[in-house]
């Protein structure tokens, strides 16, 4: 389907597409109005990167990791539970979303709720709980570190006192007890270091929870504190072992005292180092600034973010348009009827010689078979005159003397085309015979309100002559009519007889042109008559005649070498001239004053012709 066909199809389905769009938009609007309003409140906080310390694991993360960590903390169950407890109403998971603002250290927290005030309270409450929990975690880690340092200071003081006593009074028993004490300290420190290393290896910093991150920071800080102390105690133990060893050779009391003094100095170093670490820790804690600072509080939103009736209407309207367009496309895809002149040329390989619009009767008594006689200035009459002109140009070298009007199936307007074509031919000054060759369902007589007691069947059977069966209408000059007559049991035999051929030749000698109304091509009568006429007009109804049904009769006509003049597209809707993609059956002169010939119908003539007005007339031979 090319662009032109899509455009034509879109115009054909225009009202359906508009209906789908409007219904979708209206439905979306009312559905949106029935939804519960949702309000959104936003707050902003900045994540500051603190100086690195052994007591805060977060200080070792880069800025991006730190921001992502705090953003994830806002959706943890523990933080939501704490916020719910402080606010006094539940905070559901999924209500709040946190996202970094561009490449800055700012994070925007957005909360959605059905209550505007509650949305703002939740946003501010979550940030407050995040700040409080962060401060509590840091406080716990500092307290634990202070306690460990204080214990180490107390232990060093105790050992210093013992060593000073030993120096004053060297005693192997005292050294033995001191060795046991130091060994106990070493064993304890080694167990602690081993346990800390095991716990640290269990935690993956990239996938750790907030509690695990806190524990990891504690473990690392303790390990950093214990390692140098363990080294000092191991050196003390070595010195005490040497001190305990009995004097051999050059070993003397002086050497033992030197060992004691060295050990004392090591304990004093531990004491001084621990005192310095404790003071540094307290100073760091005092100078520590919070990692999270709220820079913009959430305010109560004045209007909901959803539903938005107009946006919903536009979206639903678009969906409605897509759905109806899909339905239209499916129908078009499945529809194999012929709709446009281009399709006639493509499918039937025939030219379009006439585009006839819908005929609308103004009164019940009016007949569409003689429409052009009573509406000479109408677009339809102009279309029939255009058909007449096309027929004249199609046979310049050999003028048409007989034209058969047929179609693929029933109810496609063969009789309407035949009768009105005969009238416009008569209006051009030609002597025209309208012959009803449909001996199965004749209709010509009904279009002119004349009887059908005698006609073609009687003529072929030799009962009557042309003079006896021809009818004339005084109100329509140059038009002569022969109806079908009585319905014979064998119409095909009559039409195919030599007598019928002779009668047609006799009629050609009397009249300028003969227009024959015939049955559909499904009936053999039409095939027989097509070989005995100079040309065949094939009538289809766009949107009604199926392509397969239209092609089969044409193949038969081509097989018997009938002269196919072209296709007349009948019953084109008046309000859809665009339907044919530029093939407008309206003439540009249809309203031009003085263009049309004067009507041949007398003023005040009744549309319903009575039988007495159509009388038999003697035939004048040409």
Quick one: which of 48, 52, 58 has its CA closest to 105?
48
> What pLDDT does residue 202 have?
82
The C-alpha torsion from 268 through 270 and 275 to 278, rounded to 10°, is -170
Q: Tens digits of per-residue pLDDT, 523-566?
A: 889 999 999 999 999 999 998 999 999 999 899 998 999 999 99
Q: How confident is the model at residue 575 (pLDDT cuts 50, 70, 90)?
A: low
Strands across the sheet containing 432-436: 352-357, 564-572, 535-540, 402-407, 513-517, 432-436, 479-482, 471-472
User: What percentage of the chain exceeds 90 in pLDDT?
Assistant: 36
Alpha-carbon distance of 482 to 504, in angstroms, equals: 12
E strand or H helix at 136: helix 116-168
- The set of residues, in sequence order, having a beta carbon less than 8 Å from that of 270 and lying 6+ positions away, is 152, 156, 229, 232
DSSP string, 320-333: HHHHHHHHHHHHHH
Q: Which of 414, 411, 426, 432 is nearest to 376 (CA)?
A: 426
Report pLDDT for 610. Answer: 36
Q: Return the C-alpha torsion angle 261, 264, 266, 268, nearest 10.
A: -130
Which has more confidence, 515 or 335?
515
Q: Is 336 helix (H, G, I), strand (E, B) or coil?
A: coil
Distance CA 120, CA 43 (A): 8
- Domains delineated in the chain: 1-35+307-335 (no CATH), 143-288 (1.20.120), 336-606 (3.40.50.300)
Q: Which of 486, 420, 432 is nearest to 459 (CA)?
A: 486
pLDDT at 250 over 80: no
Query: Cα 43 vs. chain centroid, distance in angstroms?
Result: 35
How many residues would you count in the chain? 622
pLDDT of residue 54: 45
Mean pLDDT of 27-32: 88
Predicted confidence (pLDDT) at residue 61 exceeds the cutoff of 50:
no
Greatest Cα pair distance in the chain: 172
- What is the reported pLDDT for 287? 57
* 121 Cβ contact partners less than 8 Å away, ≥ 6 residues apart: 87
Better-predicted residue by pLDDT, 339 or 396:
339
- Report d(CA 264, CA 239) in Å as an integer: 10
* Whole-number average pLDDT of the chain: 81
CA–CA distance, 491 with 528 (Å, rounded to integer): 11
Q: Is a pLDDT exceeding 50 seen at residue 288? A: yes
Report phi then psi at 105, rounded to 5.
Answer: -95, 10
pLDDT band at 321, cuts 50/70/90? very high
Residue range 325-348: average pLDDT?
89
For 609, phi then psi, to 5°, come to -70, 135
**pTM of the model as a whole:** 0.56
Peptide bond preceding 478 in cis form (omega within 30 of 0): no
Give residue 364's pLDDT.
66
| pLDDT at 573 exceeding the cut of 60 | yes
**Contact 580/340 with Cβ under 8 angstroms?**
yes
169-226 pLDDT, tens per residue?
A: 665 556 677 778 888 888 888 888 888 888 888 887 777 776 777 777 777 877 887 8
pLDDT of residue 167: 78
Most confident among 219-228, 252-261, 390-399, 595-604 (mean pLDDT):
390-399
Contact partners, residue 463, CB within 8 Å, separation at least 6? none
- Lowest average pLDDT, out of 49-63, 235-249, 495-509, goes to 49-63
């Amino acid at each position: 389907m090319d662009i032109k066909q899509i455009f034509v199809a879109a115009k054909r389905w225009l009202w359906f597409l508009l209906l789908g769009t409007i219904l979708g938009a209206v439905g979306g609007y009312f559905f949106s109005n029935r939804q519960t309003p949702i309000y959104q409140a936003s707050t902003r906080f900045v994540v500051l990167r603190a100086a690195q310390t052994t007591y805060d694991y977060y200080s070792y993360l880069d800025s991006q990791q730190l921001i992502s960590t705090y953003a994830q903390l806002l959706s943890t169950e523990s933080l939501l539970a704490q916020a719910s407890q402080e606010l006094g109403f539940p905070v559901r998971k999924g209500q709040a979303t946190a996202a970094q603002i561009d490449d800055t250290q700012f994070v925007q927290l957005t909360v959605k709720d059905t209550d505007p005030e509650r949305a703002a309270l939740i946003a501010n409450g979550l940030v407050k709980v995040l700040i409080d929990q962060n401060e509590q975690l840091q406080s716990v880690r500092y307290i634990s570190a202070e306690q460990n340092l204080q214990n180490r200071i107390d232990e060093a003081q105790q050992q210093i006192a013992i060593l000073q006593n030993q120096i004053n009074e060297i005693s192997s028993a005292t050294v033995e007890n001191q060795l046991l004490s130091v060994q106990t300290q070493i064993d304890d420190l080694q167990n602690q270091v081993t346990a800390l290393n095991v716990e640290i290896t269990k935690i993956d910093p990239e996938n750790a929870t907030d509690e695990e991150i806190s524990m990891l920071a504690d473990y690392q800080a303790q390990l950093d504190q214990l390692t140098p102390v363990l080294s000092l105690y191991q050196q003390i133990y070595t010195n005490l072992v040497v001190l305990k060893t009995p004097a051999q050779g050059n070993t003397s009391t002086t050497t033992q005292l030197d060992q004691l003094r060295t050990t004392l100095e090591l304990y004093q170093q531990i004491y001084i180092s621990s005192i310095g670490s404790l003071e540094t820790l307290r100073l760091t804690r005092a100078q520590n600034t919070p990692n999270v600072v709220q820079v913009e509080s959430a305010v109560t939103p004045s209007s909901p973010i959803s539903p938005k009736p107009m946006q919903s209407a536009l979206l639903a309207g678009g969906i409605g348009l897509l759905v109806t367009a899909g339905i239209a496309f499916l129908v078009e895809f499945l529809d194999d009827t012929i709709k446009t002149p281009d399709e006639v040329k493509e499918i039937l390989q025939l030219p379009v010689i006439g585009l006839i619009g819908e005929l609308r009767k103004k009164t019940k008594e009016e007949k569409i078979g003689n429409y052009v006689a009573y509406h000479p200035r109408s677009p339809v009459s102009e279309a029939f005159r255009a058909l007449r002109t096309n027929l004249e140009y199609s046979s310049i070298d050999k003028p048409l003397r007989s034209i058969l009007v047929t179609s693929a199936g029933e109810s496609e307007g063969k009789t309407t085309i035949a009768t009105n074509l005969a009238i416009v031919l008569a209006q051009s000054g030609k002597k025209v015979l309208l012959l009803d060759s449909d001996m199965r369902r004749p209709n010509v007589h009904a279009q002119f309100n004349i009887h059908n007691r005698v006609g073609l069947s009687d003529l072929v059977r030799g009962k009557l002559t042309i003079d006896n069966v021809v009818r004339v209408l005084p109100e329509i000059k140059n038009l002569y009519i022969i109806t079908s007559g009585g319905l014979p049991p064998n119409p095909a035999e009559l039409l195919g007889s030599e007598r019928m051929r002779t009668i047609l030749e006799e009629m050609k000698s009397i009249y300028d042109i003969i227009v024959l109304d015939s049955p559909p091509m499904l009936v053999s009568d039409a095939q027989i008559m097509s070989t005995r006429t100079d040309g065949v007009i094939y009538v289809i109804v766009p949107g009604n005649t199926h392509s397969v049904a239209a092609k089969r009769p044409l193949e038969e006509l081509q097989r018997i070498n009938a002269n196919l003049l072209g296709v007349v597209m009948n019953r084109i809707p008046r309000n859809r001239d665009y339907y044919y993609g530029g093939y407008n059956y309206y003439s540009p002169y249809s309203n031009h004053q003085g263009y049309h010939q004067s009507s041949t119908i007398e003023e005040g003539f009744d549309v319903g012709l009575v039988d007495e007005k159509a009388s038999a007339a003697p035939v004048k031979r040409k």
